[in-house]
Amino acid sequence: MAVAKKTASGTGAKASGRSRGAAKSAAPSIVEFDKEQELHAYRELLLIRRFEEKAGQLYGMGLIGGFCHLYIGQEAVVIGLQMAKVDGDQMITAYRDHGHMLAMGLDPKGVMAELTGRQGGLSKGKGGSMHMFSKEK
């Protein structure tokens, strides 16, 4: 079960720079997931964590060139985003993008190939850790 809090908009600052007060927030809405959805989310969390641990090892061995910004400790962020998004939503990320690619359902082998600069990578090995892209997802 997750709780999503919605806030009212329209609160701003006066010309003097002082706030009009705290934003009024609506009652939290409860979002419930069934056991299958929760298990899927947990598996995705594990996939991202294990993938990033392996990427860290490969980077330490010098098999990943340039920078390698790992997503360890942030796995739940992207899984929560994926569970909340609806058809038509698009996402863009910055340099910690491996977890996003995996959470969107891209093949871990393709993501790893990109990290290691191989032709089979998502961007044919040219984007590396920070510039992965998939126009399908």
Residue 42 lies in a domain: yes
The CA distance from 48 to 74, in Å, is 9
Nearest CA among 56, 61, 73 for reference residue 129: 56
This model's pTM is above 0.85: no
27 in a domain, yes or no?
Answer: no
Please state the separation of Cα 52 from the chain's center in Å. 13
pLDDT at position 132, please?
80
In a domain, 106, yes or no: yes
**91 in any annotated domain:** yes
Q: Residue 48 falls within a domain, yes or no?
A: yes
The enclosing H or E element of 29 equals strand 29-31
The number of distinct structural domains making up the chain is: 1
Residue 26 belongs to some domain of the structure: no
pLDDT given at position 88: 87
Mean pLDDT by 10 residues, the chain (137 residues): 45 47 69 92 97 97 92 93 88 86 93 93 87 75
pLDDT at 20: 59
> 94 lies in which domain range?
33-115
49-70 pLDDT, tens digit each: 999 999 999 999 999 998 899 9
Residue 98 lies in a domain: yes
Residue 103 lies in a domain: yes
Asked if 68 contacts 111 with a C-beta cutoff of 8 angstroms, the reply is no
Sign of CA dihedral 36, 41, 42, 46: positive
